[in-house]
Structure 1
Amino acid sequence: MKNIASLFKIGFTSITLIFAMSACSDDFMEPDSISTFDNAYIYSNVDDARNGVNAIYSYFNQDAFRSRLSNNFTGNTDIEHQSGWSSNGDRYQIWNLDALPSNRDLDIVWTYAYRAIRDANIAIEGITLSGNLENQDQTIRATMHHLLGEAYTLRAYWYSMLIYYFGDVPYVVSAPIAGQDFNLPKTHRNEILSGEIQQLIAVEQNMKWADQTTYGVEQVNREYTLGMIARLALQRGGYYLKPNLSLGRESDYLEYYEIAKQYTQKLITLKDRPLPEDFSQIFLNNVTFQTPTNSEILFEVPFSLNSGDVGWNIGIEVEGGPTSSHAYGSGNNYMAMPVTYYFSFDTLDIRRDVTCGLYRINKDFEAEFINGPMNISQGKWGRHLLTTPPGASTAKSTGINWPMMRYADVLLMFAEAENELNGPTAAAQEALKRVRQRAFKSEDWAEKVDQYVAEISADKSSFFDAIVDERAWEFGGEMIRKYELIRWGIYSEKVAETVEGLKKLADEANNGTTDLPDYMYWKLDQQGEFTILNPNRKVIAPPDDTWNQVPFLLDLHDETTNYDEWITRDWENYINGPNPGVVRYIFPIPTIAVENSQGTLKNDGYGF
């Protein structure tokens, strides 16, 4: 259920000259302004302190997050793609890694990230100075400690994103006051990450578990903060792009793998839970507004019924509009999946058909095959599964929550960190097995789980490669792959493999030497269910004329250019950018931020 959206009527505290958000609804993500009292009064009581912290959440409901950071900014990778070269529009510049400082999308993300950080700093200072962290009332004391943890965790998230997209950025850790110099210089990204990690380590033990909070996984909780410590530690211990367009990694990186191991292990020890057996149900819960605690999702962004873009710009494509026969509206998919990813799955892996959508919903509310292999959808979500149709002409604002971290991520981060520190130990192998067991039927575990893990555990390198693969299969469509490829230092390598893989599939289909489906055959069965005859193999002809034939791998070939243009161009700047073999994923600081800094900030390095 939409706990926060329907019940959490947050009075966002508007502090004179500091909080400048207009009141537009009674929703958690769009909070009302109820006060102009000063900071000391606001954080003197639990209710208003809660409202002050809720102000930080409101930035998830801006385009900076709901249609940028959550999905649009995160391609191209080896498991996602979009054509950036076909337009000069802002999002296309991002996809093509050639964004200008005037890019509006960059400005939106920069602006709202620092607004969220500002409001986090206000809350942190207000709570810390309130005296309520030492209040004699245990309930007040515990609530204030948890609110402090929420504020620190949300601040850490926004700094993590700023670093991934802009590199070194100003590090603001205090609430704004009159006369303060706001034009701070850049701080090295590793100093920021180290500082945020230590702050989370200091507050996590005083936070509440999701099942102890009012809104469970729809608000930041101790599980998520523990997971964020690990995620930030792996970012800090990983590779990063230097201004000279080379990859760097600090000599102390193992210290951060140790932190990642320690805090994933802490969560596993203190709050372990079985992974839900039904992989598809995890995401169906998002679409049907179910938010179980002590389950898979640790924290998800709580969108109200009039906000959020999941099922509009990501998910199964739905053709709606006023002439459609259904009332589910229109949904697109801005980030498709390359067919190499689809065929990378074991054919028995349950996750493939949940993750990779080979169908779309037409105006007659019937499923039909996608328009070619370049349009495989992020199949985990779809507006056509909403319990209440939002209306034929609707598009945005589906109300579907966005998962920020899952427990499987914690298990795989633990396995990765343990392997980096000690090799593929029994503990690392067991964590990997737990994730793979859900991916296969129990009768297949001997081969697909036990035998597989034994084979890839020969040494640290092969186990790491298996983690790289497993994270692709487990989190496809959840748009975190970009950040993983960056910290592993294999971004360019993996996208180059993807392009070569696509060329190979195209060549073999065109030459008639493929065993994979050059054509696919599909139909709606007597119950109206979408069925594919040959999802894994080539067939010469269907058994009867009830099947629809569509070109599949043959669609990768072009008679004039040999390969479809998207194969050779979508990833081109990721392979042969300013420094071939290194992805220039860092973008320029927005023009307005540079101009307003009065000479403190400038775009230098990274080939700008």
Structure 2
Amino acid sequence: MKHIKIYKILVIMLLALCITSSCKDYLNDQSPSTFTESTIFSNIDFAQKAVFAGYGAINNISAYAWYSMYFFADSDIEFGQYTTSSDGGYTIMRYETTETTNYLQNTWTALYNAIEKVNICIDNLPGSPVWENEETADEARRLYGEVVALRAMIYHTLVSVWGDVPFIIKSTQGDSEFSLPKTDRDEIYEYLITELKEVEDYVPWMSETTERISKGFIKGLRARMALSYAGYSLRNKTFETRRGRNWQDYYPIARQECLEVMESGKHQLNPSFENIFRTICTYTHDLTYKESMFELAFGKYDVGYMGTFWSGTTHIASDPIYGRGGSNIASSPAYYYSFDTKDTRRDITMVLFHYNSSAYPGQQVLMDNNGYTYWEPAKFRKEWIRPLMGGESTAGTGVNRPWMRYSDVILMFAEAENEVNGPTQAAKDALAMVRKRAFPQHVWSEKVDAYVNSVAASKESFFNAIVNERAWEFGGEQYRKFDLVRWNLLGAKINEMKEEWWKIVNNDPKYQSIVPDYLYWKRSTENPEYIEILNPDSRLSNTTITGYTKASWLPLMSTASKDRLQNTIFPYIARGYNPAKNNHLVHIHATVISDSNGVLSNDQIPQ
């Protein structure tokens, strides 16, 4: 492929990454001016810089810092904000790509360029002077394990987004073949899952940072990829939706890897769900609980748009305190009201206010009751970021993106255990562990113990509980689309979300006990920035309450708003997705196809 450059002198990459890298601290060291590969891997400091260049490569805008969010939607809980724009990002989210859609080439090229960087390290670390030297051998093997995991992570994304892809596992040489054909995804997964097992003992458990790959993350990544392999996906050429060819062998792999992480005691759930995201929003690493097992390290005012364009509350651009905030990713009342009213995750994941009022700059304002504006994930909200960003409204926040949390490992274990052995006590205990953090202790008997026992009545009902729990736990973190794909539930869940949304705004009896017809709210007397909502999930008599303003809520939506919701908003979400075709994969860009000399084609797109 012509877009992958030949790098016989590694300095070109190292300088570019070390000077422009968005990664923090340990990624910011400057490299010398010229190196050969033999020089690089003769010195442990230079070898570290080469590996850190691989980290830096995945954190640019075209890879994981921004554009990737478009490829991780639409789903039932995360989808593109309504717009009439033909911008490529929204086209990708709506499943409407063509061979010329913007961002397709950028992201493909960025991910393969990152693979080239890590391949150089993978090729050169084993047998190198730093590998053979007793003083540097452990660090050299750690570095090797890190780049093997980075490569697996990148290919997991490529396969999830494009299906079968060229599988390049050697760095480019002068005689390399550039026009490589696609490799079947089963072969890719099988190779990488085996390779991850070989290196997981090279890498230590997390200690000093969330921004370097650790043993726990490698085990979790291996489990995640095993579940993807065991699950469903649309297949190239045949367009059938099926599991991996040896799928039964991979649930035990996922189960075992997750179990080993849990039994290690090296990671714990943060007792406070809110604190997970507040910590990340203050550019701080949680090295106490270590729930965040790996974070993509971005750079403040550089890249990383968590809270500006991604999973944050909307702030008016002229907000003098926080600056512009918001999310290109939306959600819905159906998701908000799917939470149990006592689930503490709900009001961290979504909110009923915004900061988008010129009349109240820097202050919360209650949502309108039109049912679709400002419904967005809020885990990485601008008002949580410290130090405050002020009026720098369009700057990248640099807030890290958590790529895996310990709760993911726990729920993957519960899912895999159920697949292998049914809803055993071990599976029930894992689900209960996550729910105990979500609910106050005084309701555990009902919301944890009784609930878990109820859903464990059968393998199917326990699986459905895992589907729901992962939605409540990870909303706004963009796990959901590819979860639904591997469960073969993408179309069904999107349709279900629209049906429940419609019930809410039409005052269906199912929701009358938890969806108010009027919200009663007031501005806080302690801090006028905040509003206090008396009844977000209960109905009060239609009366006046001293000190509170009464506002019509979703069941009292106007006819015009309902018409727009039904005829404009609903059709827009996942507009190009056809459940019969399960067309969840995107096109390869025409330029990439042309550069491959006809070797590549869009044989993953059903007609």
TM-score by length of 1: 0.91
Partner residue, 1:180: 176
SS of the residue aligned with 1:310?
A: coil
Equivalent of residue 349 in structure 2, options 330, 340, 355: 355
Q: Does 1:49 align with 2:47?
A: yes
Is residue 339–residue 376 contact of structure 1 (8 Å, CA) maintained in 2?
yes
Is residue 40–residue 46 contact of structure 2 (8 Å, CA) maintained in 1?
yes
C-alpha spacing 1:542/1:232, structure 2 compared with 1 (3 Å): farther
Is residue 17–residue 53 contact of structure 2 (8 Å, CA) maintained in 1?
no
SS of the residue aligned with 1:124?
A: helix
Return the alpha-carbon distance in structure 2 between the equivalents of residues 122 and 171 of structure 1. Answer: 15
C-alpha spacing 1:113/1:605, structure 2 compared with 1 (3 Å): closer
SS of the residue aligned with 1:97?
A: coil
Partner residue, 1:369: 366
Deviates more, 1:410-419 or 1:368-377: 368-377
Equivalent of residue 303 in structure 1, options 298, 303, 319: 298
Amino acid at match of 2:539: K
Partner residue, 1:546: 548
Is residue 83–residue 95 contact of structure 1 (8 Å, CA) maintained in 2?
no
SS of the residue aligned with 1:162?
A: helix
- Structure 2: 5+ residue stretches without partners: 1-6
Amino acid at match of 1:75: A
Equivalent of residue 312 in structure 2, options 316, 333, 345: 316
Partner residue, 1:535: 536
Return the alpha-carbon distance in structure 2 between the equivalents of residues 409 and 602 of structure 1. Answer: 35
For residues 368-413 of structure 1, give each alpha carbon's deviation from its aligned partner in whole angstroms, at most 9, with x where no partner exists.
1234432222121112222222231332321211111000000000
Partner residue, 2:3: none
Partner residue, 1:63: 61
Partner residue, 1:208: 204
C-alpha spacing 1:353/1:165, structure 2 compared with 1 (3 Å): same
Equivalent of residue 222 in structure 1, options 215, 226, 232: 215
1:541, distance to aligned residue in structure 2 (A): 3.4
Equivalent of residue 191 in structure 1, options 187, 191, 202: 187
SS of the residue aligned with 2:201?
A: helix
For residues 544-590 of structure 1, give each alpha carbon's deviation from its aligned partner in whole angstroms, at most 9, with x where no partner exists.
36315143344385478384434431335366x2xx44431111111
1:354, distance to aligned residue in structure 2 (A): 0.8
Partner residue, 1:9: none
- Structure 1: 5+ residue stretches without partners: 1-11
Structure-to-structure mapping, 1:563-578, within 5 angstroms = 563-571=565-573, 573=575, 577=578
Structure-to-structure mapping, 1:375-390, within 5 angstroms = 375-390=374-389
SS of the residue aligned with 1:206?
A: coil
Return the alpha-carbon distance in structure 1 between the equivalents of residues 558 and 114 of structure 2. Answer: 44
Partner residue, 2:4: none
Return the alpha-carbon distance in structure 1 between the equivalents of residues 588 and 564 of structure 2. Answer: 39
SS of the residue aligned with 1:53?
A: helix
Structure-to-structure mapping, 1:24-423, within 5 angstroms = 24-25=19-20, 28=23, 32-68=30-66, 70-83=68-81, 86-137=84-135, 140-211=136-207, 215-243=208-236, 244-293=238-287, 294-307=289-302, 308-322=304-318, 324=319, 326-361=320-355, 362=357, 364-372=361-369, 373-374=371-372, 375-423=374-422
SS of the residue aligned with 2:557?
A: helix
Amino acid at match of 1:448: K
Return the alpha-carbon distance in structure 2 between the equivalents of residues 511 and 125 of structure 1. Answer: 59
Return the alpha-carbon distance in structure 1 between the equivalents of residues 511 and 468 of structure 2. Answer: 29
Return the alpha-carbon distance in structure 2 between the equivalents of residues 516 and 14 of structure 1. Answer: 63
C-alpha spacing 1:25/1:599, structure 2 compared with 1 (3 Å): closer
Return the alpha-carbon distance in structure 2 between the equivalents of residues 103 and 471 of structure 1. Answer: 31
C-alpha spacing 1:105/1:521, structure 2 compared with 1 (3 Å): farther
SS of the residue aligned with 2:520?
A: strand
Deviates more, 1:22-31 or 1:437-446: 22-31
Is residue 333–residue 377 contact of structure 1 (8 Å, CA) maintained in 2?
yes
Return the alpha-carbon distance in structure 2 between the equivalents of residues 589 and 401 of structure 1. Answer: 28
1:103, distance to aligned residue in structure 2 (A): 1.6
Structure-to-structure mapping, 1:449-528, within 5 angstroms = 449-508=448-507, 516-527=515-526, 528=528
Is residue 66–residue 309 contact of structure 1 (8 Å, CA) maintained in 2?
no
For residues 26-56 of structure 1, give each alpha carbon's deviation from its aligned partner in whole angstroms, at most 9, with x where no partner exists.
7636755534211111011210010000111
Partner residue, 1:8: none
TM-score by length of 2: 0.91
Is residue 499–residue 567 contact of structure 1 (8 Å, CA) maintained in 2?
no
Is residue 120–residue 154 contact of structure 1 (8 Å, CA) maintained in 2?
yes
For residues 129-158 of structure 1, give each alpha carbon's deviation from its aligned partner in whole angstroms, at most 9, with x where no partner exists.
415334322xx1111111011101111111
SS of the residue aligned with 2:95?
A: coil
Return the alpha-carbon distance in structure 1 between the equivalents of residues 269 and 558 of structure 2. Answer: 37
C-alpha spacing 1:86/1:511, structure 2 compared with 1 (3 Å): farther
Deviates more, 1:313-322 or 1:295-304: 313-322
1:514, distance to aligned residue in structure 2 (A): 7.3
Return the alpha-carbon distance in structure 2 between the equivalents of residues 149 and 328 of structure 1. Answer: 40
Return the alpha-carbon distance in structure 1 between the equivalents of residues 450 and 17 of structure 2. Answer: 58
Return the alpha-carbon distance in structure 2 between the equivalents of residues 431 and 556 of structure 1. Answer: 44
1:595, distance to aligned residue in structure 2 (A): 0.7
C-alpha spacing 1:103/1:19, structure 2 compared with 1 (3 Å): farther
Return the alpha-carbon distance in structure 2 between the equivalents of residues 268 and 289 of structure 1. Answer: 26
Return the alpha-carbon distance in structure 1 between the equivalents of residues 9 and 393 of structure 2. Answer: 32
Aligned residues: percent identity?
32
Amino acid at match of 1:206: Y
Return the alpha-carbon distance in structure 1 between the equivalents of residues 517 and 605 of structure 2. Answer: 42
C-alpha spacing 1:351/1:14, structure 2 compared with 1 (3 Å): farther
Deviates more, 1:364-373 or 1:476-485: 364-373
Amino acid at match of 2:335: Y
1:603, distance to aligned residue in structure 2 (A): 1.6
Amino acid at match of 1:183: S
Return the alpha-carbon distance in structure 2 between the equivalents of residues 13 and 271 of structure 1. Answer: 43
Amino acid at match of 1:551: W
C-alpha spacing 1:517/1:217, structure 2 compared with 1 (3 Å): same
Is residue 14–residue 34 contact of structure 1 (8 Å, CA) maintained in 2?
no
Return the alpha-carbon distance in structure 2 between the equivalents of residues 84 and 320 of structure 1. Answer: 18
Matched residues, number:
587
CA RMSD of aligned residues (A): 2.6
